[in-house]
Amino acid sequence: MKKNAIFLFVFLAAFRLATAGEGMWLPLLLEQLNEKEMKSMGMRISAEDIYSINNSSLKDAILLFGRGCTAEIVSDKGLILTNHHCGYGQIQSHSSLEHDYLTNGFWAMNQSEELPNPGLSVTLLVRMEDVTSKVLQALKPGMSESQREAAIREISATLEQEAVKGTHYKAVVKPFYYGNEFYMFVSETFNDVRLVGAPPSNIGKFGGDTDNWMWPRHTGDFSIFRIYANKNNEPAEYSADNVPYTPKSHLKISLKGAEKGDFTFVFGYPGTTQEYLPSNAIQMITQQANPPAIRLRGKRLAIFDKYQNESNLVRIQYAAKHASVANYWKKMIGENRGIQKLDAINKKQELENGFKSWAASDAGREKMYGGILPAFDELYGKMGRLEEDQTYLIEAGLGIEAVRFAYGFNTLLIQSTDKKVTDEAIDEQIKKLRTYADAFFKNYYAPIDHEVFIVLMQDWFEHQEGARMPGNLTMELLKHGNSFTRWADVVFEKSMFTDQQRLNKFLDRYNRRKARQIEVDPMFSIAEAIYGHYIRAIRPSISGLEATNDSLQRIYMRGLMEYQPDKRFYPDANSTLRVTYGKVDDYSPRDAVDYRYYTTLEGIMEKEDPAIYDYVVEPKLKKLYREKDYGRYGDRDGTMHVCFTASNHTSVGNSGSPVLNADGYLLGINFDRNWEGTMSDLMYDPDQCRNISIDIRYCLFIVDKFAGAGHLVNEMTIVE
């Protein structure tokens, strides 16, 4: 019996290892830390094929796209794939009533039709380097936290300068494991990136916010761009003379599809994870910060929904705002449920108890680590309250659009009262503010904001005592007879920041003596109270605690690594290039429910609802479906696969990342996680955490069969 149990334990442990998806690994260390496991899971290529310093490797096809997404090069002419939601801003900026690319899609039929995107860049990693010892050499024992930081800044700057001397590259040194290790990243940034193709929104955003973070999913979340370079194949600002970039390598595409159990890996730029925080932090995030944010966003979204359903114009005006408010709202809900279901706080506490006894059993360790957990208790005791205050300031105060907008006039106010600022500079600022105002009012519907003001202020006052709020707000409310509605009525009627005509009149006749009118504007003074409270009271206190936290977390991290010498630690995500690997896999979200790992076009037809914007199906897509006209993109089972799930540990920023198979061929494009697994930024659960990808065959089917842009597929390297 006992023997059997041990056998079962060993067997299960091995099984766990072989299916494990946890970890976001540094490409540089794959060979040392992961290659063996990756091969045991089915990988047929080597770590060197993925990341090599000397030879071209897959990493030469992976890009940081814009500020926070990933993209991959898929042709020798610099063609790149990312998500529709990553290219959304660019697609939107080229859209007008005559050319509504968001609604109808966009396809460049030749290179001259590809559209430039000022402000958009993509970044390629040239190499990375472990510079830990060089950085640590610059540090002396006994340094204070700020001395330490200054020394790190100085040595980093030196290393960065040396690394890029005589090149057009950029280098940055980043801390890993909370400042226990340091790596330098040398990269190359391209600024001429053109829009090549995007499906209509009812393919690229099918399911909208309703399906967001959810499985089963049917979103064709992709868009296509191309990198342009100068005649020497080097990065250059946009120019009509630029030519398509010739990459060192581009991804090959597999049309074989993904099957359950297949090895996959995701190569991209995850933004932030916090896997090594103490239980106090998880408690703070899930019990103090998330709940008011979820509640306040929920109220805001209900108001958006009401007005968006009433008017088509408002629906369009608030589409992007709705998406961005809803995205984190839903993420936080999922995160809280996941943490609860995983019993994550208890799990962390168990780990901490073990750590405590381990530290206590040795005098040296006790001296080094004994004080850490009590120090966290004290720190988070103070931090929690400030986090709450900050959450209300951001989610309630800055949830009011006109508050954020009005504060944009603060610079003009400051300039106007500063004699050193010339009249020309002020004219320049006015010009900027006009553009700023045009952009704001284009998508502003004051009745929404008016109601949001009432509802959010009321919530804030109900949940926080006045002493913790910006002082002026309490006075203002009192002045309006403690009525939120009356207060809102007056502010919205009097302020020039809620009405473009009033604002234009003011700007038309502006001279610096009129600056006072900004100051006394009722919306501006609310904004000033909110931002001022944040800048003067909340932020400095939080910063002080964060500095303490940084040093505690650094020591705790080192302690954890010593305490568990056999565990392989991966560094938390920090927007650097990572490899995460797992298997194509399904999951069971709750008792009696099993989800299949892939979806098909049948599911799109099941979800179709012409009355609901997010579930409209294009007639052309229906025709292809009826005729089963899938070409070489259909699955062997006769259906068109749309999305699939796998156990790769991904995070925000992995949007657009390539999902690759055992041979390193492109299988899909990552775009989301499942709701039940969104706590993976704090704690990963191999049982529940899945990444969601669009099947590359559906993507190419849309490009080729739906859009008739087969010339783009012809550019790619397809492995049938």
Q: Does 521 bind ligand ARG (CB under 6 A)?
A: no
Cβ at position 672, least distance to ligand GLU in Å: 5
Q: Which is nearer to ligand ARG, 584 or 652 (CB)?
A: 652
CA distances (Å), origin 275, targets 26, 279, 354, 618: 16, 11, 17, 42
Q: Does 557 bind ligand ARG (CB under 6 A)?
A: no
Q: Which is nearer to ligand GLU, 156 or 674 (CB)?
A: 674
Q: Which is nearer to ligand GLU, 156 or 655 (CB)?
A: 655
Cβ at position 655, least distance to ligand GLU in Å: 3
Q: Does 226 bind ligand ARG (CB under 6 A)?
A: no
Q: Which is nearer to ligand GLU, 415 or 654 (CB)?
A: 654
Q: Which of 23, 78, 179, 208 binds ligand ARG (CB under 6 A)?
A: 208
682: Cβ–Cβ under 8 A, 6 or more apart, which residues?
A: 273, 274, 275, 277, 282, 285, 335, 339, 344
77: Cβ–Cβ under 8 A, 6 or more apart, which residues?
A: 226, 244, 245, 246, 715
Binding mask 668-697 for ligand ARG (x = CB under 6 A): ----x-------------------------
Cβ at position 177, least distance to ligand GLU in Å: 22
Q: Which is nearer to ligand ARG, 85 or 705 (CB)?
A: 85
Q: Which is nearer to ligand GLU, 270 or 470 (CB)?
A: 270
Given ligand GLU, ligand ARG, none, residue 531, with its beta carbon under 5 to 8 Å by kind, binds none
Per-position b or e across 295-332, b if 16+ CB within 10 A of its CB: ebbebbbebbeebbeeeeebbebbbebbeebbbbbbbb
d(CA 44, CA 251): 16
Cβ at position 250, least distance to ligand GLU in Å: 22
Q: Residue 648's CB: how many other CB atoms inside 10 A?
A: 31
| Listed ranges 166-174, 293-301, 319-327, 586-594: which one lies at the site for ligand ARG (CB under 6 A) | 319-327
Given ligand GLU, ligand ARG, none, residue 699, with its beta carbon under 5 to 8 Å by kind, binds none
Q: For 594-597, which contacts have Cβ atoms below 8 Å and span 24 or more sequence positions? A: 595/215, 595/216, 595/645, 596/216, 597/258, 597/260, 597/644, 597/645, 597/646
Active-site position among 85, 218, 250, 649: 85
DSSP notation for 151-198: HHHHHHHHHHHHHHTTSS-EEEEEEEGGGTEEEEEEEEEE-EEEEEEE
**What is the SS3 assignment for 692?**
strand
Given ligand ARG, ligand GLU, none, residue 212, with its beta carbon under 5 to 8 Å by kind, binds ligand ARG
Given ligand GLU, ligand ARG, none, residue 472, with its beta carbon under 5 to 8 Å by kind, binds none
Q: For 424-428, which contacts have Cβ atoms below 8 Å and span 24 or more sequence positions? A: 426/510, 426/512
- Tokens representing 282 are 């998880």
Instruction: Verify whether residue 655 is a known catalytic residue.
Output: yes
Nearest residue to the partner ligand GLU, using Cβ: 655
Given ligand GLU, ligand ARG, none, residue 470, with its beta carbon under 5 to 8 Å by kind, binds none
Given ligand GLU, ligand ARG, none, residue 323, with its beta carbon under 5 to 8 Å by kind, binds ligand ARG
**What is the SS3 assignment for 82?**
strand
Q: Which of 65, 213, 460, 461 binds ligand ARG (CB under 6 A)?
A: 213
Given ligand ARG, ligand GLU, none, residue 571, with its beta carbon under 5 to 8 Å by kind, binds none
Cβ at position 205, least distance to ligand ARG in Å: 6
Given ligand GLU, ligand ARG, none, residue 209, with its beta carbon under 5 to 8 Å by kind, binds ligand ARG
CA distances (Å), origin 105, targets 83, 91, 98, 200, 271: 14, 9, 13, 4, 29
d(CA 198, CA 202): 11
Q: Which is nearer to ligand ARG, 402 or 659 (CB)?
A: 659
22: Cβ–Cβ under 8 A, 6 or more apart, which residues?
A: 570, 649, 684, 686, 689
Q: Does 85 bind ligand ARG (CB under 6 A)?
A: yes
d(CA 223, CA 85): 8
Q: Which is nearer to ligand GLU, 77 or 649 (CB)?
A: 649
Instruction: Verify whether residue 418 is a known catalytic residue.
Output: no
Whose CA is closest to 300, among 427, 145, 460, 411? 460
Cis peptide before 199 (omega within 30 of 0): no
Contacts to ligand ARG from residues 639-668, by CB under 6 A:
652, 655
φ/ψ of 714, rounded to 5, equals -60, -25
Q: Which of 60, 114, 160, 209 binds ligand ARG (CB under 6 A)?
A: 209
Contacts to ligand ARG from residues 326-385, by CB under 6 A:
326-327
**What is the SS3 assignment for 673?**
strand
Given ligand ARG, ligand GLU, none, residue 391, with its beta carbon under 5 to 8 Å by kind, binds none
- Tokens representing 545 are 């605690």
| Listed ranges 106-114, 267-275, 323-331, 445-453: which one lies at the site for ligand ARG (CB under 6 A) | 323-331
Cβ at position 677, least distance to ligand GLU in Å: 9
Cβ at position 331, least distance to ligand GLU in Å: 7
Q: Residue 282's CB: how many other CB atoms inside 10 A?
A: 22
- Tokens representing 185 are 């990243």
- Tokens representing 385 are 């309250």
Instruction: Verify whether residue 84 is a known catalytic residue.
Output: no
> Using CA of residue 374, residue 380, residue 383, residue 385, what is the dihedral sign?
negative
Active-site position among 221, 449, 459, 681: 221
Question: What residue ranges bind ligand GLU (CB under 6 A)?
Answer: 650-655, 671-673
Residues taking part in catalysis = 85, 221, 655
Binding site for ligand ARG (CB under 6 A): 85, 208-209, 212-213, 323, 326-327, 652, 655, 672
